[in-house]
């Protein structure tokens, strides 16, 4: 096996950041190979799965434009002008994100976005390998070991590994065995469950499509983002442990679909009426945990570097995890252009992006408190209204 040429880069993970980074680098003339542990999502039958969506903001769109992906992605995006707050008494209020429709965010379908980005990466010249997950790394000899469903392990040489393999990154784990990354994770004592609002019998959206809907209820809440197939993905955020004295439910007391229906009927009655399969969704979908990952070191000299969730997973309440991961991709591609020495490029990339990622992680935690509490607060609404004048 020949060692790769000096323009070769190996990306681990063909998710959102991996696909965008592969495109940006291939367009700049890098020889890019990508290893993904899952199957190619473009080849799967279009079985009806869960529709998970993400809020795409200007930071993310900037990277998509540079990758030549913005037009294809925006063709399936739904505009969200602001937060539509659903109060406990049934009133609603749209709090715009900006002055007009030039300052909005967009709801995009995660699966569709990934498929579009993979097509674009391949067209740019990146070579994608599916069903090959990184298992271990011999950094001294620059050999990476991958495995797939056939149970065979493959040893493949590399010059540099770029970890775009998400919050549970295998590359991060391998790097941590070589050097102390000063890694710590803070998990929230809240988790989430995804549900779905289907289209109306006539095929229309059942509630205002151009908004991010929020049902704030103090220490817990529910949100809904539109999909271009006229559905909404609803996410229920609850504490892990109920606080019965304060009347706050938790996943320890809301255990079944029937419990969830009773909670919705009581606390989110307008939403409950829109989710006919609430019991099945609740029982069938996994409960997701929420956490923030902090590292003080994102690279191992010039041999490995981390981007996106692998470097700085965050709680989703600012809708910026993917957007921030896309910004990493632009920054890393630019730093690799500036110097031939990869260790220098990675150190400069970390120096630029780590403080930004920390700031966004902090804002995401703060926004959680705001979405849960303050958007239901009259003083805050008045203040927002005055800001809009």
Binding site for ligand FAD (CB under 6 A): 12-18, 35-38, 54-55, 133-134, 164-166, 170, 192, 235, 288, 308-310, 316, 319-323, 325
Nearer to ligand FAD, 223 or 389 (CB): 223
The 3-state secondary structure of 286-341 reads CCEEEEEEECCCCEECCCEEECCHHHHCCCHHHCCHHHHHHHHHHHHHHHHHHCCC
Separation CA 146–CA 137 (nearest Å) = 9
Cβ 125 to ligand FAD shortest distance, Å: 20
Separation CA 212–CA 246 (nearest Å) = 28
Separation CA 272–CA 224 (nearest Å) = 12
Closest CA to 165 of 317, 4, 325: 325
Cβ 133 to ligand FAD shortest distance, Å: 4
Give the residue at shortest CB distance from ligand FAD: 15
CA distances in angstroms from 352 to 214, 349, 373, listed in the order given: 34, 5, 33
Nearer to ligand FAD, 188 or 381 (CB): 188
Nearer to ligand FAD, 35 or 268 (CB): 35
Cβ 369 to ligand FAD shortest distance, Å: 17
Nearer to ligand FAD, 36 or 196 (CB): 36
**Paired residues of 105 in beta bridges:** 80
For 362, the enclosing helix (H) or strand (E) is helix 342-372
Cβ 280 to ligand FAD shortest distance, Å: 19
Cβ 306 to ligand FAD shortest distance, Å: 9
Closest CA to 174 of 138, 122, 205: 138
User: Token pair for residue 324?
Assistant: 């921030």
DSSP-derived 3-state class of residue 176: helix
Nearer to ligand FAD, 153 or 339 (CB): 153
DSSP-derived 3-state class of residue 6: coil
Cβ 170 to ligand FAD shortest distance, Å: 3
Nearer to ligand FAD, 106 or 340 (CB): 106
Separation CA 61–CA 90 (nearest Å) = 35
Cβ 165 to ligand FAD shortest distance, Å: 4
Cβ 63 to ligand FAD shortest distance, Å: 11
Separation CA 60–CA 23 (nearest Å) = 14
Nearer to ligand FAD, 170 or 231 (CB): 170
Cβ 90 to ligand FAD shortest distance, Å: 26
Cβ 202 to ligand FAD shortest distance, Å: 28
Nearer to ligand FAD, 149 or 266 (CB): 149
Q: At what angle do helices 321-338 and 58-66 cross, to 10 degrees?
A: 40
Nearer to ligand FAD, 129 or 344 (CB): 129
Cβ 308 to ligand FAD shortest distance, Å: 2
Nearer to ligand FAD, 108 or 254 (CB): 108
Residue 256 per-residue DSSP state: S
CA distances in angstroms from 216 to 205, 233, 306, listed in the order given: 22, 16, 35
Which residues make Cβ contacts (< 8 Å) with residue 335, sequence separation at least 6? 345, 346, 348, 349, 352
Which residues make Cβ contacts (< 8 Å) with residue 228, sequence separation at least 6? 76, 77, 78, 109
Nearer to ligand FAD, 311 or 336 (CB): 311
**Rg, the chain, Cα only:** 22
């Amino acid at each position: 096996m020949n060692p790769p040429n000096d323009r070769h880069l190996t990306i681990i993970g063909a998710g959102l950041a991996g696909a965008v980074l592969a495109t940006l680098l291939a367009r700049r003339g890098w020889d890019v190979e990508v290893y993904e542990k899952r199957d190619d999502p473009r080849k799967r039958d279009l079985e009806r799965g869960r529709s998970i969506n993400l809020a795409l903001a200007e930071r993310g769109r900037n990277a998509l434009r540079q990758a030549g992906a913005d037009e294809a992605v925006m063709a399936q995006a739904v505009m969200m002008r602001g937060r539509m707050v659903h109060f406990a008494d049934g009133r609603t209020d749209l709090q715009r994100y900006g002055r007009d429709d030039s300052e909005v965010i967009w709801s995009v379908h995660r699966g569709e976005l990934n498929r579009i980005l993979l097509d674009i990466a391949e067209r740019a010249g990146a070579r994608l390998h599916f069903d090959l997950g990184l298992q271990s790394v011999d950094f001294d000899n620059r050999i990476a070991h991958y495995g797939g469903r056939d149970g065979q392990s493959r040893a493949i040489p590399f010059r540099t590994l770029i970890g775009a393999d998400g919050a549970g990154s295998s590359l991060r784990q391998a790097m941590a065995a070589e050097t102390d990354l000063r890694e710590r994770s803070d998990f929230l004592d809240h988790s989430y469950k995804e549900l779905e609002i289907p289209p109306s019998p006539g095929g229309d959206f059942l509630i205002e499509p151009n908004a991010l809907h929020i049902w704030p209820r103090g220490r817990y809440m529910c949100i809904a983002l539109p999909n271009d197939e006229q559905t909404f993905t609803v996410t229920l955020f609850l504490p892990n442990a109920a606080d019965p004295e304060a009347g706050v439910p938790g996943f320890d007391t809301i255990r079944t679909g029937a419990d969830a229906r009773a909670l919705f009927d009581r606390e989110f009655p307008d939403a409950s009426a829109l989710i006919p399969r609430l019991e099945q969704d609740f029982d069938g979908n996994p409960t997701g945990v929420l956490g923030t990952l902090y590292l003080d070191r994102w690279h191992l000299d010039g041999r490995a570097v981390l981007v996106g969730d692998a470097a700085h997973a965050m709680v989703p309440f600012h809708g910026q995890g993917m957007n921030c991961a896309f910004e990493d991709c632009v920054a890393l591609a630019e730093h690799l252009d500036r110097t031939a020495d990869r260790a220098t490029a990675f150190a400069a990339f970390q120096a630029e992006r780590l403080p930004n990622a920390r700031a966004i992680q902090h804002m995401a935690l703060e926004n959680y408190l705001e979405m849960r509490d303050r958007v239901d607060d009259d003083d805050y609404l008045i203040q927002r209204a005055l800001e809009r004048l």
